[in-house]
């Protein structure tokens, strides 16, 4: 595995490589470019292609052990990223060869959880999105028809047919407004004003549907993710499933790299932290380390005093943070867990103080 690290390239690095490759593709289309620069860029593309070859080989090797089906899209992207430029190189003798590397545009889709999220939102809301899109289509055709009838005699070169009028209609309905075609007659301008208003309305519906659908999907995914983390904190395992749902809603997951200062002495604190995995160091006179399952920063929530010590991450730490507002709500719905937190806080007060 250590000899073939390419498939383990982190998502940001992968995205960066793809971005560099695509910029080179873009640069290569500039007509009057020195032969030397051109060569450099082509070598760069070849280099990225080699990296992608290695990545593909490793993906194929490591995937053998796992179920192929789950990683099918990743493998498909990797195969295309290698084969399409190769085929272009072998078959297409023109200068357009490098354009085929634009297939690397698919590379970021390979690792991203965001695109999967987007896909789900589009699937869930498909019915409404199709509905709004067909409203868009109907308004578009109606606008083009009306503009054609109104303006065809005034500007026969620009509104001489419905397809021509449709170009004006789409530019207006999306409020893009290139200005290459504008109605000249009074009626035509009133029509244009109405279409702009329709455009804003359709846009607004689209925004509302996407925003709502997106928000619900994110909320659901966050719940599932936090749920899995909460299971790793012993304190929460005593809770019934009702109280668990409450706390899962209230907690916010976060991963910090080793060395990060999580809270600083003297700051006012508006949240406490539970450690899912990793270790933190509390900078008291005789420093203490806390490990998985511990919590800290609870004093600030209970007393409202500033943080009594700086806490920093010793290893990469996976945290769940609980905001003051949610702690109060938790106290209400599951008093038992709030009591445990309060007792620990009192004990720690007597013992060497913690953040």
Q: Which of residues 308-327 bind a second copy (CB under 8 A)?
A: 323-325
The least distance separating a second copy from the CB of residue 79, rounded to whole angstroms, comes to: 19
Shorter beta-carbon distance to a second copy: residue 259 or 266:
266
Would you count residue 329 as binding a second copy (CB under 8 A)?
Answer: yes
- Interface with a second copy by CB under 8 A: which range of 35-43, 45-53, 215-223, 275-283? 215-223
Which helix (H) or strand (E) segment is 319 a member of? strand 317-323
For residues 54 and 352, give the distance between their C-alpha atoms in angstroms, rounded to a whole number.
Answer: 54
Residues 52-111 that bind a second copy (CB under 8 A): 67, 69-70, 99, 102, 105, 108
Output the 3-class SS for 133-151: HHHHHHHHHHHHHHHHHHH
Q: How many CB atoms lie within 10 A of CB 24?
A: 19
Q: How far is CA 37 from the centre of its chain?
A: 35
Q: How far is CA 124 from the centre of its chain?
A: 18
Would you count residue 148 as binding a second copy (CB under 8 A)?
Answer: yes
Would you count residue 192 as binding a second copy (CB under 8 A)?
Answer: yes
Residues 5-24 that bind a second copy (CB under 8 A): 15, 19, 22
* Cα pseudo-dihedral 344, 350, 354, 355, rounded to 10: 80
The least distance separating a second copy from the CB of residue 105, rounded to whole angstroms, comes to: 6
Per-residue contact flags (x/-) with a second copy for residues 256 to 295, judged by CB under 8 A: --------x-xx--x-------------------------
Shorter beta-carbon distance to a second copy: residue 114 or 291:
114
- Interface with a second copy by CB under 8 A: which range of 39-47, 86-94, 178-186, 280-288? 178-186
Would you count residue 145 as binding a second copy (CB under 8 A)?
Answer: yes
Shorter beta-carbon distance to a second copy: residue 40 or 134:
134
CA terminus-to-terminus distance, the chain: 41
The least distance separating a second copy from the CB of residue 351, rounded to whole angstroms, comes to: 25
Q: Edge to edge, what strands does the sheet with 311-313 contain? A: 261-263, 311-313, 280-282, 288-290
* Placement of tokens 């920093």 in the chain: 312
* Cα pseudo-dihedral 134, 135, 138, 144, rounded to 10: -120
Do 285 and 323 contact (CB within 8 A), yes or no?
A: no
- Interface with a second copy by CB under 8 A: which range of 37-45, 46-54, 76-84, 180-188? 180-188
Would you count residue 118 as binding a second copy (CB under 8 A)?
Answer: yes
């Amino acid at each position: 595995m250590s000899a073939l690290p390419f498939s383990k390239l982190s998502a940001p690095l992968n995205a960066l490589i793809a971005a560099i490759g695509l910029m080179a593709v873009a640069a290569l289309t500039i007509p009057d470019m020195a032969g030397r620069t051109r060569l450099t860029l082509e070598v760069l593309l070849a280099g990225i292609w080699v990296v992608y070859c290695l990545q593909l080989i490793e993906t194929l090797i490591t995937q053998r052990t796992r179920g192929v089906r789950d990683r099918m899209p990743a493998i498909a992207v990797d195969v295309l990223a290698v084969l399409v430029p190769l085929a272009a190189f072998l078959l297409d003798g023109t200068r357009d060869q490098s354009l085929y590397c634009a297939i690397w545009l698919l590379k970021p889709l390979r690792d991203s959880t965001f695109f999967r999220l987007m896909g789900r939102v589009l699937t869930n809301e498909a019915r409404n999105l199709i509905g709004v899109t067909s409203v868009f289509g109907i308004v578009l055709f109606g606008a083009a028809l009306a503009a054609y009838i109104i303006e065809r005699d005034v500007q026969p070169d620009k509104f001489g047919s419905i397809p021509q009028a449709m170009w004006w209609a789409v530019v207006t309905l999306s409020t893009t407004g290139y200005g290459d075609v504008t109605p000249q007659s009074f009626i035509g301008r009133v029509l244009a004003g109405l279409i702009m208003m329709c455009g804003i309305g359709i846009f607004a519906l689209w925004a509302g549907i996407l925003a709502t659908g997106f928000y619900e999907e994110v909320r659901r995914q966050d719940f599932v993710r936090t749920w899995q983390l909460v299971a790793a904190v012993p304190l929460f395992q005593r809770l019934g499933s009702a109280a668990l749902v409450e706390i899962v809603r209230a907690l916010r997951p976060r991963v910090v790299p080793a060395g990060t200062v999580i809270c600083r002495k003297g700051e006012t604190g508006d949240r406490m932290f539970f450690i899912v995995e990793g270790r933190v160091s509390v900078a008291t006179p005789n420093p203490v380390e806390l490990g998985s399952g511990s919590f800290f920063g609870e004093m600030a929530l209970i007393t409202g005093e500033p943080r009594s010590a700086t806490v920093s991450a010793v290893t990469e730490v996976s945290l769940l943070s609980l905001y003051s507002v949610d702690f109060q709500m938790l106290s209400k719905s599951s008093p038992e867990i709030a009591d445990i937190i309060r007792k620990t806080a009192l004990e720690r007060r007597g013992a060497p103080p913690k953040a």
